[in-house]
Amino acid sequence: MVAKKIWPYIKPWLFPLIVGCIYAFCLQYDPLSGQRAVEASRRLISQLGLPICFVLVMMTLINRYLDPAAVARFLGSRTGVRGILLSALAGVISMGPIYAWYPLFKNLKEKGASTFIIANFIGCRSVKPVLIPVLLAYFGWQFSIVFVLINLFGAMGTAYLVAMFCPTLPE
């Protein structure tokens, strides 16, 4: 009975505890390898600590202030360049699993959003601003900028082809 009550508090700490035990075991039985492992972990944490903190702050802000219903108001049909840019931006900043956005896509379709707008939104979800600091930390500015721009233009190209082959979405 007591175990059931404390399990929810212990469960999140189980993995870090097991990893700590493995490090302690390595340090005791093979100090040189254990020291190298601790040093490699320290370097990794120092390289990614700030970007990961930035990622967590951005995810918290986006989840707190982005409302899918508000996005739907700006992506109606005949929005032109504004609709393309807004659908791209909405796709980039959208969070969560894609299936959670399907009701929004259905709502957009019912309100007259074009196939292009919906496909562009879905395609632009591959760019995640919360992961850009990690991308920059590993690959640098030049690679990151080219990679993100190619993804965005690729999403628009894909959306164009989808709209060309499927001008109206099925009911």
106 and 134 in a single domain? The answer is yes
pLDDT of residue 157: 94
39 and 113 in a single domain? The answer is no
In a domain, 170, yes or no: no
- Percent above pLDDT 90 for the chain: 19
d(CA 56, CA 130): 8
pLDDT of residue 143: 94
101 and 137 in a single domain? The answer is yes
d(CA 67, CA 71): 7
**What residues in the chain have per-residue pLDDT under 70?**
1-2, 55, 58-59, 62-63, 66-79, 111-112, 169-171
21 and 94 in a single domain? The answer is no
In a domain, 58, yes or no: no
pLDDT of residue 150: 95
Number of separate domains in the chain? 2
37 and 87 in a single domain? The answer is no
d(CA 126, CA 148): 9
117 and 84 in a single domain? The answer is yes
pLDDT of residue 148: 92
The candidate with the shortest Cα–Cα distance to 114, out of 171, 169, 170, is 169
Q: Token pair of 8, please?
A: 């929810």
pLDDT of residue 11: 86
Residue 39 corresponds to which amino acid? E
27 and 87 in a single domain? The answer is no
92 and 153 in a single domain? The answer is yes
In a domain, 171, yes or no: no
Residue with token string 């992506």: 75
Alpha helix segments (H runs only) across 30-131: 31-65, 68-73, 80-93, 102-110, 115-124
Residue with token string 């370097």: 43
The candidate with the shortest Cα–Cα distance to 126, out of 103, 169, 104, 156, is 156
pTM reported for the whole predicted model: 0.58
User: In angstroms, how far apart are the furthest CA atoms of the chain?
Assistant: 69
- What is the sign of the dihedral through the CA atoms of 76, 77, 82 and 84? positive
Judge whether 130 and 94 are in contact, CB under 8 Å: no
Full residue range of the structural domain in which residue 99 is found: 66-165
In a domain, 145, yes or no: yes
